[in-house]
Amino acid sequence: MIESISGGNEERPSIKKVLGRLGRSIPFLCYLIMLLLRVTAIDLPQAVFQLVQPVANANTFLSMFMIGLFLELRLPKKDLALVVRVLVIKYGSGLLLTALFMWLPFPEMIKIVLCLVSVGPIPTFGVINSVAAGMRAEVVGFTSSLSFLISLPLMTSLLLFL
């Protein structure tokens, strides 16, 4: 699918191709398995948690490493309009979703989590996929870095007011 976005492949995506890629995506399969375990109320043995604990502990380091790798606070002026447009769309729609979530009949904790996710920073995988799709790394890195600088105070403010 990334190839078709970047122009490397002219084939149209189909449901079969998308499902095939999702079936080969390890993070997606892990989420699917964990969702299935949760829905069926199956508890994993403690030994499984001990086995995956080193990998889980490395996750924070790897996330921070990826953020640092793409941290870019310099940008040519010609790309500034694109960055502003992306961030206005992202945070404008995030704030609209926040208002919508506050009106929905969900428990308070679910409302808070949905609101925080709505205004969260651009995910690292979004950065990686954007670069893989042909976007310039400096533009994507700058946008991601700026989104972290905007999201952290915004999420903190939401927590204070919700």
Task: Locate 82 and state its tokens.
Answer: 């694109």
The pLDDT of residue 28 is 85
Residue 161 is predicted with a pLDDT of 85
CB neighbour burial string for 109-140, b if at least 16 within 10 angstroms, e if fewer: eebbebbbebbbbbebeebbebbebebeeebb
Q: How is the chain split among helix, strand and coil, in percent rounded to 5? A: 75, 0, 25
Q: What is the pLDDT along the chain (162 residues), one digit of tens a residue?
A: 444 444 455 567 788 888 888 888 888 888 899 889 989 988 889 998 899 888 888 877 877 787 677 666 677 788 888 889 989 999 999 999 999 999 999 899 999 999 999 998 887 677 777 877 888 877 887 888 888 889 989 999 988 887
Residue ranges per domain, the chain? Answer: 44-161
Query: According to the model, what pLDDT value does residue 95 have?
Result: 94
Q: What is the pLDDT of residue 97?
A: 95
* pLDDT in the model for residue 101: 93
Per-residue model confidence (pLDDT) at position 72: 60
Distance linking the first and last C-alpha atoms of the chain: 39
Query: Model pTM?
Result: 0.60
Strand, helix or coil at 40? coil
Q: What is the pLDDT of residue 6?
A: 46
Tell me what pLDDT residue 4 has. 45
Q: What's residue 126's pLDDT?
A: 76
pLDDT for the residue numbered 98: 94
